[in-house]
Structures are given as structure tokens and as C-alpha cells.
Amino acid sequence: MFRARVIPCLLLRGHGLVKTRRFKDPVYVGDPVNAVRIFSEKEVDELVVLDIDASREGREPNYELIAEIAGECFMPVAYGGGIRTLDQVRKLIRSGVEKVVVNSAALESTEVITAAAEVFGSQAVVAAIDVRKPLLGGYKVVGKSATVEAKVKLEDHVRRVVAAGAGEIFLNSVDRDGTMGGYDLDLIRSVTRLVEVPVVACGGAGTVEHLREAVQEAGASAVSAGSMFVFHGKHRAVLINYPGDIRI
């Protein structure tokens, strides 16, 4: 039976792993290589690792750390953060990741998506889209870890990155990030109905039921979460966990 992928999303800050709430207030949750080793032992479907400072600081990806992380992954792993050029993509793939995640750079130009897809195939290129919903008005695309608002409309941006060659969309809700109250199903629906490529939903998951809703009710092909897999209990004690053998 085919399963929807359940993907822990890990945030890098310097050499540490952190978890945010609404893209703010990063809390340290541990050593990234150690955490990845535990996730690998728990046989997670896939892993997404995002450096949340790289784009904002205009910094290169930390290739050495990424290679160390990838060496522990006996499952697919995607890296995002600070990717702007094909040369960087090449170095990342050589460091051992299967997929690269392009976010902020694609708001200015989708060139790197096209170039990477031509060389490594669409399956290796994920377009991440961070979305915020203001009290008034529709969804807004944001960039650089939600520090800047993009001018492009969500629908146009989704179509544009797919046309450019992205093989997957990683859709993150800024407002739901770290809240564990459930995904923004309307947001997911509004994107899954636009495109054929797999959409990975992120932002808000707290329970297996939430994961199920995103797939069965909103059409996500895969589901991702941070807090749910690094925190335990209402006091958010750090505990790497992964519900074994979930079929969604």
C-alpha cells in the first residue's frame, strides 16, 4: 500500500537545532546530528532540514554540517536555506542530500529552480512557500523567514514555481507554525487544487489526526511537522519522537 509521507521538519540555527512559534522565539532543542540519528533509527519517511538564518544573513549553506547530517540519513533528506545558485545546489547534492529546498530566492527569480531541475531532475527540487494570513485580506506569501512580504499572489507564485520545474511544493503556514492546533486546511486546499505535483503541508500539526486531515480532507501528498516530533507533553519538554508505522 502506498503511504502519504510523514516528514519531520528540523530547523537549523548556527550549529544547533531550534523550534520556532509563528517563525519567532526559537527554542534550542538539541544537536542536529544526534537528532537526525534518532529520527533515522525511528525509520522516518523522510526529513526536511531548513537553515532559518542563511537567507536572511545572505550566508552560504553549512556544507560540512549538511554532509554529516546526510551521512546519518538512510531515508531521503531535503535541505533548504540560503540557496540561490546552481553551484550551491551541486555542492549540496554532492554533500549527500536528495533534494534542495528553494524559498526566498524564488521570490525574485525562479532561475535556480529551472537550472537545478534541468541538471538533477524535478524530483530533486522543492519549492518552499511560506504563507501568512493577515486578519484582513487573503493569504500573503512571505520570504526570508517571514521577515519580508512578497508582492506576488500565492496562486501566481505556486503556478510559477511549478512551471519553472519544481517537483514538489513545501507549503508552510507562518500563523500555525509551532502552535500544534492543526493545519490550515483551506490554505492547503487552495494550493493542492492548483497543481499536479505533490504538496507537502507544514505548520500546525499536533496530532496524528491533524496529519490525516491534511491528506484526506485537503489533498496534501505528504505532511510535515516540527513541534510534534521534537516536543512531548503540554510543557513542551524536548523529546525526539515519531509515531511508528502510521498509515494515512
Query: What residue ranges bind another protein (CB under 8 A)?
Result: 1-5, 40, 43, 45-46, 70-71, 73-76, 93-94, 96-98, 119-121, 123-124, 167-168, 196-198, 221-222
Tell me which amino acid residue 206 is. Answer: G
What DSSP character marks residue 3? -
DSSP 110-157: SHHHHHHHHHH-GGGEEEEEEEE--SSSS-EEEETTTTEE-SS-HHHH
Q: How far is CA 195 from CA 7, 186, 190, in A?
A: 20, 15, 10
CA angle at 113 for the pair 69 and 11, rounded to the nearest 5°: 30
State yes or no: is 130 an active-site residue: yes
Which is the catalytic residue, given 45, 53, 87, 130?
A: 130
Q: How far is CA 35 from CA 98, 125, 158, 185, 242, in A?
A: 19, 24, 32, 29, 12
- Which residues form the catalytic set? 130
